[in-house]
């Protein structure tokens, strides 16, 4: 504590042995450093690490470990998502997909937590969805969402998302899909 004498009853304030013991305990058990470490590693989202980010993930509702689809498939009933492959570039779909787990780094998980926190309080407007996209893909390239006016939202990427990013987009729950609205993903090469 900063001023331990304020915690000593007035009747004991002149007791030298008791005051010496209290002062020694105060120096040994000073919680200031522990509180600062806790604030830095757990409470402050910008500096949190490991366990602290896992706590924040539970608070906002996202997990650090993502399940990635390891295979891309070609077929007549192709998915309308970011796993679409052109002819002769992927095997035929056999009915099952193999998956693997991927653990996000602290920085990537922090971005996901910030994006999910925005998604939790969003009003669902295009402006809000674009803010979430800018948080989730900061420094990756241009990405935006547009309402085509036919009960369809189009997420457009000016970069090719990685397998981890595809998993974030499609299964993390950060990018919402309004009821009755079709979602289309488009990748436009940079010119």
Tens digits of residue pLDDT in 9-19: 777 677 888 88
166 & 131 share domain: yes
Domain of 127, in residue numbers: 53-187
Residues 53-76: what's their mean pLDDT?
Answer: 78
| Arithmetic mean of pLDDT, 81-105 | 63
User: Could you read off the pLDDT of 161-190 as tens digits, one per residue?
Assistant: 877 777 777 777 777 777 888 888 888 866
Region for residue 82 given its phi and psi (left: phi exceeds 0; alpha: psi -120 to 50; beta: otherwise): alpha
Alpha helices in the chain (DSSP H): 16-28, 32-38, 51-60, 106-121, 126-136, 163-171
Residue whose token pair is 């906002």: 60
Give pTM, 2 decimals: 0.65
Is the domain of 71 the same as that of 134?
A: yes
Query: Residues 22, 61: one domain?
Result: no
Of 170 and 76, which is predicted with more confidence? 170
Return d(Cα 91, Cα 75) in angstroms, integer: 8
Q: Is the pLDDT of residue 73 over 70?
A: no
Do 138 and 82 have their domain in common? yes
Would you place residue 112 in the very low, low, confident or very high pLDDT band (cuts 50, 70, 90)? confident
Q: Is the pLDDT of residue 135 over 80?
A: yes
| Contact status, residue 62 vs residue 173, Cβ threshold 8 Å | yes
Q: Which percentage of the chain shows pLDDT scores above 70?
A: 80
Residue 139, judged by CB atoms within 10 A of its CB (0-12, 13-18, 19+), counts as exposed
Same domain, residue pair 83 and 146 = yes
Please tell me whether residues 17 and 70 are part of one structural domain.
no
Interior angle at CA 157, CA 152 and CA 159, nearest 5: 160
Count the domains in the chain: 2
Mean of all residue pLDDT scores within the chain:
79
């Amino acid at each position: 504590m900063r001023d331990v004498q304020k915690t000593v009853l007035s009747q004991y304030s002149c007791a030298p042995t008791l005051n010496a013991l209290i002062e020694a305990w105060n120096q040994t058990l000073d919680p200031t450093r522990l509180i600062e470490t806790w604030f830095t590693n757990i409470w402050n989202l910008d500096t949190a690490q490991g366990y602290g980010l896992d706590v924040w993930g539970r608070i906002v509702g996202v997990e650090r470990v993502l399940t990635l689809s390891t295979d891309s498939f070609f077929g007549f009933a192709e998915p309308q998502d970011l796993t679409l492959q052109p002819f002769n570039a992927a095997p035929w779909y056999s009915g099952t997909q193999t998956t693997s787990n991927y653990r996000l780094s602290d920085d990537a998980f922090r971005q996901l937590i910030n994006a999910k926190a925005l998604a939790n309080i969003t009003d669902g407007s295009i402006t809000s969805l674009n803010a979430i996209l800018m948080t989730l893909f900061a420094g990756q390239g241009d990405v935006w969402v547009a309402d085509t006016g036919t009960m369809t939202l189009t997420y457009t990427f000016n970069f090719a998302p990685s397998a981890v990013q595809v998993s974030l987009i499609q299964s993390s729950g950060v990018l919402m899909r309004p009821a009755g609205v079709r979602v289309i993903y488009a990748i436009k090469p940079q010119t």
